[in-house]
Structure 1
Amino acid sequence: MIMISDDAVLLTYDSESTQGDGARRYVLRSSIWKRHDDRWQLLFHQGTVKERARASS
């Protein structure tokens, strides 16, 4: 998570799922969240399909 202002963050993460045919799907996800009146609101989300998951650190 990266703070991009006092009331906004950029969150990035990897997701993995299994499709109906058994194929694995890997997606890099990015979201921008903004705090408004003590609530977090999703402003933007993007998913980018990848060839495979990156290695864990």
Structure 2
Amino acid sequence: MIGNVVHFTMGVLVVVKMQSGPSSLAAQWSLAGMYLVFAVLFGYVTFTHPGKSA
């Protein structure tokens, strides 16, 4: 569980670092943004309590 969060976090950091160079494309930035959104959503689902269901 925590490994997935670390994977997403490191993935976002690597992609952003790669994009900071002179040859960054808009498509690559959009993919990095989508990866970041999925990382945040995964962290939210993983670390929040669903609440009582009755």
TM-score scaled to structure 2, two decimals? 0.23
Higher relative contact order at CA 8 Å, sep ≥6: structure 1 or structure 2? 2
Which is richer in helix?
2
Question: TM-score when scaled to structure 1?
Answer: 0.23
